[in-house]
Structure 1
Amino acid sequence: MNTDQIKGKWKQLAGTLKAKWGKLTDDDLKVAEGDSEYLAGRIQERYGIAREEARKEVDDFNRTL
């Protein structure tokens, strides 16, 4: 799924993202609105993992869509 498709289906994906990364807040997801770089940064911050690891997790998630 490309970035435009992700942004178009963001509200549906937000629930899936929340289930996978429960430490993300509704505000995090609202601000992210399909921005995978922002999302990776929030995951990094909330879970205390390296930026590259967070980016890889987001990329892996995007590939499963």
Structure 2
Amino acid sequence: MNSDIAEGKWRQMKGSVQEKWGKLTDDDVDQVEGNFEKFCGKMQERYGMSRDQAEKEFNRLKD
């Protein structure tokens, strides 16, 4: 998947992300911009998830 498609999908999912994970602020979601590494970092920071858990959540989002 190219970065334009990933970015577009992320914009569509922003609302769902914030609904499901309310501890992520608007700024957090904007900073992540669909970037896998940033998403995992924010999930670890806000929710204390392991790297594996964060990866699983990211994969659920994109499916």
TM superposition score normalised by structure 1: 0.79
User: Quick one: percent identity of the two aligned structures?
Assistant: 45
The number of equivalent residue pairs is 62
Distance 2:22 2:62 in 1: 17
Distance 2:52 2:22 in 1: 20
TM superposition score normalised by structure 2: 0.81
1:4 Cα deviation after fit: 3.2
Superposed counterparts of 1:1-65, under 5 Å = 2=1, 3-63=3-63
Flag structure 1 segments of 5+ consecutive residues without an equivalent. none
Distance 1:48 1:7 in 2: 25
Query: Cα–Cα, structure 1 residues 48 and 28, in superposed 2: closer, same or farther, change >3 Å?
Result: same
Give the counterpart letter for 1:29 in structure 2: V
